[in-house]
Amino acid sequence: MSGSGPGEVATGTVLEKTRPPAPDDDAVGSGARRFWSTRRISGGLLALLLLVVAAAFLYDIAAVRADRPAMSWRRELADQLAERPLDDAWVLLGAGVATALGLWLLLLALTPGLRSLLPMRRVHPDVRAGLDRDAAAMVLRDRAMEVAGVRSVRVRVTRRRADVRAVSHFRELDDVRADLREVLADVVGRMALSRPPALAVRVRRPGRKG
């Protein structure tokens, strides 16, 4: 079993400089919190939408103040809101869309996002590091292919689990599975993740052709 060099795990890592934590914050070497996404796209779209709506209302209000008639769309909207009952289908549809949009914004505000980044253990108190899940899967796949008897490997890494599915064309399946678990457990330990994913290893024979 060959050891993995530092370059294997460095692929796909993210470093983030932070302020030194308070005494009750994460200690050095302890579990790190997940990275929070800046969500520039969703925030930019929402800001653009609010800007357009605010500009339209501001222009219409300024036009009315200048003794000009209100825009037709605002008069139509006011008439519809005054005449339609609350149980009207269009009113319910608009309320449902507004509710869904509000829940989506709350979800974005309360969840960290960046699910593709796995937090790593904090070696220095003012530096946070993360490993991309695809990079972690690539490292596990490359090391699994070095195990004798392994013909092909598929690896899927999530925040809590690393699912490894291998095809072995010789050797006993139990022996290949045991070697895979040993090798991959060592690789996962070298990744220095704050919450190492649980290994799930499956080994099978190649299917018959035709």
Work out whether the CA dihedral 18, 22, 23, 26 comes out positive or negative: negative
Q: What is the pLDDT of residue 12?
A: 57
* pLDDT-based confidence at residue 95 (cuts at 50, 70, 90): confident
Q: Is pLDDT above 90 for 88? A: no
Residue pLDDT, tens place only, 115-161: 788 888 887 777 778 889 999 999 999 999 999 999 999 999 998 89
Q: Is pLDDT above 90 for 200? A: yes
Smallest Cα–Cα separation from 9: which of 191, 141, 179? 191
Residue pLDDT, tens place only, 155-194: 999 988 999 999 998 899 999 999 999 999 999 999 989 8
Q: Is pLDDT above 80 for 63? A: yes
**With a threshold of 0.85, does the pTM exceed it?**
no
Q: Evaluate whether 190 touches 10 at the Cβ level (below 8 Å).
A: no
Q: Evaluate whether 103 touches 158 at the Cβ level (below 8 Å).
A: no
Percent of the chain clearing pLDDT 90 (strictly above): 33
Distant-in-sequence contacts of 41-47, Cβ < 8 A, 24+ apart: 42/108, 46/105
Beta bridge partners, 154, equal 165
Please give the average per-residue pLDDT across 39-65, as a whole number: 84
Average pLDDT, the chain: 80
Q: What's the rounded Cα separation, in Å, for the pair 101 and 103? A: 5
- Name the maximum alpha-carbon separation found in the chain: 89
